[in-house]
């Protein structure tokens, strides 16, 4: 069965896009056939993969409004054999409005990717920084959720909200949805505060914290403008090593459902 992971956190700036990009590239390095899906109208993942969202003829918008199937919209990622992207453009914001008028709107993405799932070992969904209909589509299509978390007070406050949304999705649309765990991003283990936030999230919400944490590095800021992941831009960096290890775990370990609390 193909693993479909929604990378979600309604707070912006917690490295969701960086995590999807790096895990996709690392999965391809491991020999997996991987698909990354850009569910954010800001199209940051699409841009960071080397595409200009303003000049794409087709995007996920066309899939959502029924103008094209996923097989005709996905694109191979340059320089990363085995990795494809389902790109986004700003038009996706219009598709979100369109989805609100549709019956069964939360299932549109899962139905759209179903014909190509057997062509991939792993699918990674880059959810927007909100709990709107696009994120709900991601959670409904997913087998499990990965939560990137910047270890700051304001970042972890939204975890409870996200878990409530996950529980709603389990109740109404996707009863088998699991929570794989938290990925600590932009982590600075020199500070007691960062370690405390991570421990608090694990204790309060009973969420597993995936190891290793991804430490802060300027290399992450440099990579998107080059259309590369951290694995291509700084292949020997600590950040690249962390995402390689996380990808190895996510590809090989079985999903263990974690109840929202």
Query: The CATH number of the domain where 33 resides is what?
Result: 3.40.50.300
Alpha-carbon distance of 206 to 65, in angstroms, equals: 38
The residue among 200 and 62 whose pLDDT is bigger is 62
Alpha-carbon distance of 67 to 76, in angstroms, equals: 20
User: What per-residue confidence (pLDDT) applies to 252?
Assistant: 74
Q: What is the average pLDDT score of the chain?
A: 91
Q: What is the pLDDT of residues 96-106, one digit of tens each?
A: 888 888 888 99
Residue 107 lies in a domain: yes
pLDDT category at 20 given cuts 50, 70, 90 is very high
Rounded to two decimals, the pTM is: 0.93
Indicate whether 142 pLDDT > 80.
Answer: yes
Which one, of 217, 151, 139, 150, lies nearest residue 175 by Cα? 139
User: What per-residue confidence (pLDDT) applies to 11?
Assistant: 85
Q: What is the pLDDT of residues 158-179, one digit of tens each?
A: 788 899 999 999 999 999 999 9
Indicate whether 212 pLDDT > 80.
Answer: yes
Residue 114 lies in a domain: yes
DSSP string covering 139-207: HHH-SEEEEEEESSHHHHTTHHHHHHHHHHHHHHT-TT-EEEEEEEESB-TTSHHHHHHHHHHHHHH--
- The set of residues, in sequence order, having a beta carbon less than 8 Å from that of 14 and lying 6+ positions away, is 148, 149, 150, 155, 185, 186
Residue 261 lies in a domain: no
Q: Which range of residues forms the domain containing residue 206?
A: 3-252
Residue 257 lies in a domain: no
Query: What share of the chain in percent tops pLDDT 70?
Result: 95
Residue 156 lies in a domain: yes
Domains of the chain: total: 1
């Amino acid at each position: 069965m193909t693993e479909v992971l929604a990378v979600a956190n309604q707070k912006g700036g917690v490295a969701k896009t960086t995590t999807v990009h790096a895990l996709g590239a690392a999965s391809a390095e491991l020999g997996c056939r991987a698909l990354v899906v850009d569910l954010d109208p800001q199209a940051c993942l699409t841009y960071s993969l080397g595409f200009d969202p303003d000049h794409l003829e087709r995007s996920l918008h066309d899939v959502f409004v029924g103008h094209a199937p996923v097989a005709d919209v996905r694109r191979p990622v340059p320089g990363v054999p085995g990795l494809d992207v389902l790109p986004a453009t700003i038009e996706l914001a219009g598709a979100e409005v369109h989805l609100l008028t549709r019956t069964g709107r939360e299932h549109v993405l899962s139905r759209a990717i179903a014909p190509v799932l057997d062509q991939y070992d792993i699918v990674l969904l880059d959810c927007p920084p909100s709990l709107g209909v696009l994120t709900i589509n991601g959670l409904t299509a997913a087998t499990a959720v990965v939560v990137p978390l910047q270890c700051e007070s304001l970042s972890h406050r939204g975890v409870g909200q996200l878990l409530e949304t996950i529980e709603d999705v389990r109740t109404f649309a996707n009863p088998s949805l699991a929570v794989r765990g938290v990925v600590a991003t932009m982590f600075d283990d020199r500070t007691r505060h960062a370690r405390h936030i991570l421990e608090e999230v694990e204790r309060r919400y009973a969420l597993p914290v995936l190891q290793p944490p991804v430490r802060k590095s300027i290399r992450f800021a440099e990579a998107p403008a080059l259309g590369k992941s951290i694995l291509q831009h700084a292949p020997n960096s600590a950040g690249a090593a962390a995402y390689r290890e996380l990808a190895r775990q996510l590809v090989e370990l079985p999903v263990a459902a974690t109840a929202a609390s």
